[in-house]
Amino acid sequence: MDGLFLSAQGSLAEVIANVMRVDLGMKLLAAVLAGGAIGFERQVAGKPAGLRTNILICVGSALVMDLSIRIGSVWGSGPIGDPGRIAAQVITGLTSAATIWVVAAIGLSAGAGFYVEALGATLTVMVVLAGLGRLEHGLLRVRRSMNVTIRTKPGIPLEFIREQLNVDGLEIVTANQYDHPSDRVFELRVKGPARQFEIARSELVHLPEIKNVFFD
């Protein structure tokens, strides 16, 4: 009797696991952790693709990979075609905004009839967007320092560079200047809010006095 009860209990657990796709939940959780770890480092470094962007891309990739593997086993007696073909399209997706791309991945799952997978991924994405927004905003306000190399036309003074950076809330800590016949190169150590570095870089490169800007 006890054996029968344990067998029934085990069968029930298997049914629940199959219906709720616990394995997919583990995949999505792993994607959140992996993408979050990399995204955290990118966010602190002041890069455009930060915390939420990397998590969304990783979650979408995990979902598409799961979808591509399961399609053959669900709709056929065995694998149909190459399960890597759908996953290969991830590279194309990366040219779009991360949120739009992961929503497209969810749409693929729904269109293939994998409603539990689509719902699970939707909930995951909503938690990522709503729950990490405040954290991401806080990371962008963290002050950090970076090495900056700015190549200008000959004769451009350091004060010109300093004024441009100050407008974006950045401060020059140390500065070295190197003159060449065709340009002047400034090697700087700059500090300020992490989110301002990319803003400053994009503004500097559009100035006629500036030839190149490298943030390291």
Give the pLDDT score at 6.
44
H helices of the chain, in order, are: 2-20, 22-44, 51-75, 84-88, 90-93, 98-111, 115-140, 158-167, 194-204
Distance CA(27)–CA(198), nearest Å, equals 33
Domain boundaries, the chain: 2-140, 143-215
Can you read off the two tokens belonging to residue 50?
């930060």
Give the per-residue pLDDT at 176. Answer: 95
Could you give the CA distance from residue 121 to residue 115 in angstroms, rounded to a whole number?
10
Measured distance CA(173)–CA(143) in Å, rounded: 13
If one counts every other C-beta atom within 10 angstroms of the C-beta of residue 8, the result is: 10
**CATH match for 143-215 among 2.60.40.10, 3.30.565.10, 3.30.70.60, 1.10.569.10:** 3.30.70.60
Structure tokens at 42: 């990118």
Q: Whose structure tokens read 């700015």?
A: 150
pLDDT digits (tens, 9 = 90+) for 98-156: 666 777 777 777 766 777 877 888 888 777 777 766 666 666 566 778 899 999 999 99
Cα–Cα distance between 62 and 69 in angstroms, integer? 11
Indicate the DSSP class of residue 143: E
Residue 61 tokens read as 């990739």
Q: Are 185 and 155 in contact (CB under 8 A)?
A: no
The pLDDT value recorded for residue 137 is 63
Reduced to 3 states (helix: H, G, I; strand: E, B; else coil), residue 201 is helix
Mean pLDDT by 10 residues, the chain (216 residues): 48 60 81 80 66 81 79 58 55 58 74 76 78 65 82 94 91 94 94 82 91 88
* Amino acid residing at 164: Q
